[in-house]
Structures are given as structure tokens and as C-alpha cells.
Amino acid sequence: MRRLICLAILALLASPVAAQNIVKIGQIEAQTGANAIYGYMSSQGLALAVDQVNKAGGFQVGGKTYTIELIASDTRGDPKEASIQLKRLLETDGVKFVFGPFLSNVFVTIEPYAKQFNGKFLLMGGATRIHDFLGTPDHDFLLRSWNWDAGPKGFGNLMVDRLVKETGAKKIAMLFQNDQGGKVLVDIYTPLFKQKGIDAQLELFEPGTKDFSAVLAKLAAANPDFLFPSYSDAHLYDIVRQATEGNYFRKFFLVRGSLGPGLKNKGEIDDYFVYVPKYFEEAEKTDPKVAKFVADYKTFYKRDFPYDQAPLCSSSCYDHLFMLIEAMKKAGSVDDVTKIRKELLSMTYDGLWKIRFDERGEEIFNFDIVRMKRAGQISVTSVDAQ
Amino acid sequence: MSQLLVGQTLNGVIVGTLYGIIALGVTLTFGITGIVNFALGEFMMIGAYVTWYLFDIVGLPYPVAILPAVAIAAGCGFVADQLLFRFTRNNLINGLLVSIGLISIVEAGALLLWTTTPKDMGYVLSGAFRMGAVSVPRMKIVVFALLAAVMFLTYASLSRTWIGRAAYAFSQNPEAAMLMGVKTEILQSGVVVYSTALAGFGGALYASLYSLEPAMGGLYILKGVEAAILGGIGSLIGSLAGGVILGVTEAIGSIYLPSAFRDAYGLVFVVAILLYQPSGLFGTER
């Protein structure tokens, strides 16, 4: 009798149970940590998109229905942790599509390893340093899911142009972290400012710094028109507070980070000029897709919508999953990464953002420039970067 | 430039008192228990997070929020002493290992509770006091006054009360102090708890100035140990002086040299002083 039961169990296990068609998607982002602003919203948005796709019954490619399995762990912005996670995703989980990273220091650490899998997977991340590797040999796996700062259509270029036209700024003080992200911003913006005739002064600080008084005082001594600080809200809150309290700066120019530090100190700020991929507070009122996304988020996560962090869902987030699915459908395959990449590069997707990739695999999308003046008066300019 | 120097000297003095409160804890603990408690930074972190929670989330007034924060930090210090530190008295290596292990445990706990995403507390007292071009945030002045007051009260208590004399006696000759009726176990535990309370108080004040992260204690214990060594281990006034000198050196160094290496300027100064005066500025050679 016992033998019969064992045989029956073995037969059941061995029988061709209808295999579930699953597409695995990995994500390596900082969901927590000092730089979590560059990963939290991506992880939130992607998980929501996956849930929506699966609840709708999946998607069809080549006559088969597929659902998505999302494998996302928190890297905490730690390059070592991200390396371990990527290795597990590619070697153990057999993932062919990885979303992230948004952090340059993480990307430069994982790049040598990821390169070994060129042609076997796609990595779609927003890290600024990805730009330098796009279109280079053995890097067909790379796509950069964020606007590039420089170049004629670069958002940084447009921001600096506006800064000059609207404020007449002649001198700017740059205060960045002494890491990969900070250094790449120096490399981008120093020549940009020089081109526009703006005198730029630079100081770097160690990540983990909390008291910025000395360096702010040093920068302020040269009487610059604007302070151009950091790239992470974790530092921006301290910098903006200390800059205004110490009466060192009341005008800020930002191409990374959120409106949050400005809003917290709005009574002390004269001008807060910030690149915001989308000003959700206003977009929610005018764009039905945005309003639906906000409502879906609140329903799914059962909490308030994080307006200050939502703009960072412009990278490897909600829209990108639907883009990827559309590319798979057009390619007629869920695992031929070469065909899928080709389709991604040829499409324009109109979701929360209007997104397309250029010939090298770098994203171009429409964005907002938000200007906050005294007492929190906000004006928003939408820019069509296409 | 002179106003820049004056402003940053003042800022350095204020920041230095935060280093000094930790240095005081280091010095007290070493003098009475013979170990360097590297986990004091974690008790500072506990004080900071509890203050943030009580002020921002629960909504208690800030002065009221500080008291439970200090009490909880002290309570954690008592538990750590009873479970760990009392088995490492006068054993520097064991004490070091235990305190480093405690750092990992406390930080992991903080990560679980609050994650690594920094918390930015609401402003307690905004605005600045201005004298010409020199601007000093009001909250920093309050923090300085409170820290300096606590440090001087500690010094006064130790030099003018029976318990203070007992502590000095114990630090000079533990056997004789025991024979004179000093309850040494209670004294040692009391000092550990007091030093963790000081760290918690420092953390509560830190929360009113800067954003919080679970790893924040690591920087401050290093600064505290530097300041204690600079001022002279065993010297209470040296702790304050060491912290202030460190803070000012870092601030002034950042003005004339690249600010990216700010932490190094204080260290270089400490090394230079120790080459000339190995026992520290106010320490006595043994």
C-alpha cells in the first residue's frame, strides 16, 4: 500500500503539469538608504505594474500567455550588495531583464560582471554613468532609462539655458558628494556652465557629512548667484536648511533631488529652480493617466501617494514594464533580447511619460522644470524633449 | 575673510561640544571601568531616533521628548552593562570586542525599525542670530549652551560631591577605594549608565540640527575618541576642550583647504599634539 502511494506521488510529480509561462524580471535598486530617493519609487512603480499585468491575466506573445515574476531586493545603495544580487539574478534565477541601477557608484561596480552576459540579458538603469558605456563594444545589454543632461536636447543644457535667461545668473557654486555620482555631475556641468559664460566654483564633501556650515560659508564668500547642491535628498535637507539658516544661500539650482527640501524651507528661499521629471501635484489634475496611477498606487499600497518622490518613477519603473511587454509582443519573443532591444529602440511609448530611446539606447522623455519662489509660490514649465 | 573665520570658529566650537559630550562619556567610562566603550555612538543614535519619534510622530513638545530619549538610552546602557560590560572590567581588549559587537547589534536593530533612509526631524527653533555678516543658527546656540552646561555640571558634581570623590578615589586606587567602603560595582555600573545617558542626550540635541541615519553613531564615536585623546583621557575639562579644538580645526581647515578632507584636518592636529604631548593637552602622565 505504501509502495502504491509513493508511486502515485512520483507519477504526479513526473507528469507534464501545464508549465506556467513566466517571464522573470529582476530589479537592483536602493529601496532604503541615504540614496533611496533613487530607487524607492522605481521599486514601488514596478511592483504596481507587475501586479496590474498579472491581475489582467498576463500578456500574450507568440500565442502563449505569460505572467511576470518580479525578483527585487533592496541594495540599500551598496555596490557590493547590488553585485551579489545581480549575480544571483543572472546565474541562479536565469533572469533576462534587469531594471536598475539608478546609482552610478553601483553601476560602475557591477558593469565588469554584467558585461560578461552581453547578448544574454538587458539591463535598463537610470545611472548617469551608463551614458559613457552606451554604444560601446560588448555593451548591447545596456539601456539608460533617464534623460541625459548634456547635448543639444539634454535637460541639463535646457535647465542652464533657462537659468541664464530667466535669472541672469553669472556665478554658481557647486557642492557635490565626493563619489561617482558627484564626479560625473562635475564632468557634465563644468563645461556646460563655461559654455554659457557662467563662472562655476566647486567644493566636494564626503558622503556622511552632516555639518555643511564651513563649506557653505566658503562658497558663499565668493557671492555666487545660486547654489547647485548634491544629488540626494538625504544631504539636500541638511544643505538647504544650513544654507538658509546661516544666510549663505537663498537661491538653489538642482538637477537631481526633489522639491521636498525646498518646501521644508520655503519661508527662507528666494528661488528654488529644480528639474522634476513630472510635477505630479499638477499633472494629477490634468492628465487622466497620472490620476489613475496615483489612485492605483493608493489602493495597492494603502498609503498616501509620495508626491515628492514620484518624479523618480521616470526611470526603470511603471511605464518601462509596459514598454518591455510591448517590445516582446512586437519581437514575437520573451527571451530573444537582441530582437526585444531593437523593438525598444524603435518605439515611442505614451504612458505617464512620453518615452523613446535614441539610437544608442538612451531615453528621451518630456519633463517639468519647477520654480519655487518666496513663501512657496510654484510655477511649472513642461518641456517636450522629443 | 575675518567674518568668515569668526563665523566658522563659532560653528566649530558648537559642533565640537557634540564631540565633547561623547568624549566625556569615553573618558568617564575608561577612567572607572578601564574599557573604551565604542558603542557610545549607538546610544547617541538611540537618543536621536527616540527624540525624533516622540517629537515628529507622537507630537510631544521637544523638551518633553528629550527626557524619555535620555532615559531609554540610559536604560539600554544599563542592560548592556549588566549583560556585557560588567564581564569586561579593566580588560581593554575584551571591552573593545564587546562594544564593537554591540555596535552591529544596535545598528541592525535600528535598520529593522527605521531602515537606512534618513529621517529629517521638524524644526524645533528656526532662524539665526546675526551679528553683521556672521550668522549662527539659534538652535545651535541652544545646543551648545545645554551641552556645555551638562558638561560643567558633571565636572562640578564629580569634584564637589561624595560620589565624585569616590569615583576619583577608585580611578586612582581601586583596592583602597573598596576598603574605604566605596561600592565599586555600583559605581562602575553607574558610570556606564551615566555615560550612555550623556550620549543619548547628545543624540537628542543632534536630532534638532541634522537628519538621522542608523550609521550616524559611527562618526561621532570616532570624533569622541579623538577628542578624548586630544584633551587627555581622564580629564573631564579635556573632553570639552578636545572636542572644541577638533571642531574648530575641521571648520577652519575646510575654509583654507579642500572641504572633502575635512575629517583629516582634525586627525592631523591630534597626531601633531600627541607627538609633543603624548598624554594629551590636559592629561597627566602615568
Per-residue pLDDT of chain A (386 residues; tens, 9 = 90+): 666 665 555 555 544 444 579 999 999 999 877 777 788 899 999 999 999 999 999 999 999 999 999 999 889 889 999 999 999 999 999 999 999 999 999 999 999 999 999 999 999 999 999 999 999 999 999 999 999 988 777 889 889 999 999 999 999 999 999 988 899 899 999 999 999 999 999 999 988 889 999 999 999 999 999 999 977 888 899 999 999 999 999 999 999 888 889 999 999 999 999 998 999 999 999 999 999 999 999 999 999 998 888 898 999 999 999 999 999 999 999 999 999 999 999 999 999 999 999 999 999 999 999 999 988 899 999 988 77
Is B283 part of a structural domain of the chain? no
Cβ–Cβ of B12/A214 closer than 8 Å? yes
The C-alpha of B179 sits at a distance from chain A's nearest C-alpha, in angstroms, of: 48
For residues A174 and A134, give the distance between their C-alpha atoms in angstroms, rounded to a whole number: 27
Q: How many CB atoms lie within 10 A of CB A355?
A: 23
Query: Which residue in A has a C-alpha nearest to residue B126's C-alpha?
Result: A245
Q: Which three cell numbers stand for residue B76?
A: 539600554
The partner residue sitting opposite B260, judged by closest CB among A178, A221, A233, is A178
Let me know: does B14 contact B246? Beta carbons within 8 Å.
no
For residues B260 and A206, give the distance between their C-alpha atoms in angstroms, rounded to a whole number: 5
The partner residue sitting opposite A33, judged by closest CB among B12, B117, B255, is B117
Is B286 part of a structural domain of the chain? no
Beta-carbon contacts below 8 Å between A and B: 98
Residues in chain B whose Cβ is within 8 Å of chain A: 1, 4, 7-8, 11-12, 15, 115-118, 120, 123, 126-128, 130, 135-137, 209-211, 213, 215-216, 219, 250-252, 254-255, 258-260, 262-263
Let me know: does B44 contact B202? Beta carbons within 8 Å.
yes
* Chain A residues close to B210, C-beta within 8 Å: 210-211, 238
Is B111 part of a structural domain of the chain? yes
Is B42 part of a structural domain of the chain? yes
Q: How many domains does chain B have?
A: 1
CB interface of A with B, residues 210-269, below 8 Å:
210-211, 213-215, 217-218, 221, 233-234, 237-238, 241-242, 245-248, 264
**Which residues, 6+ apart, have CB-to-CB distance to A125 below 8 Å?**
A98, A99, A100, A101, A102, A107, A142, A143, A144, A145, A315, A316
User: String of b and e for B20-44 (b: at least 16 CB within 10 Å)?
Assistant: bbbbbbbbbbbbbbbbbbbbbbbbb
Is B267 part of a structural domain of the chain? yes
CB interface of A with B, residues 186-215, below 8 Å:
203-206, 208-211, 213-215
For residues B278 and B242, give the distance between their C-alpha atoms in angstroms, rounded to a whole number: 14
CATH of residue B152's domain is 1.10.3470
Cβ–Cβ of B211/A237 closer than 8 Å? yes
The partner residue sitting opposite B8, judged by closest CB among A208, A214, A233, is A214
**Residue numbers of the domain that contains B215:** 2-276
* Chain B residues close to A237, C-beta within 8 Å: 118, 120, 211
Is B285 part of a structural domain of the chain? no
- The predicted-structure confidence for B200-257, as pLDDT tens digits, reads as follows 999 999 999 999 988 889 889 999 999 999 998 878 888 889 999 999 999 999 988 9
* Chain A residues close to B123, C-beta within 8 Å: 241
Is B281 part of a structural domain of the chain? no
Let me know: does A235 contact A177? Beta carbons within 8 Å.
yes
Ordered by where they begin, the domains of chain A are 21-147+284-352 (3.40.50.2300), 155-276+369-383 (3.40.50.2300)
Cβ–Cβ of A76/B263 closer than 8 Å? no
Query: Which residue in B has a C-alpha nearest to residue A244's C-alpha?
Result: B127
DSSP A96: S
Global pTM value: 0.85
For residues A163 and A378, give the distance between their C-alpha atoms in angstroms, rounded to a whole number: 16
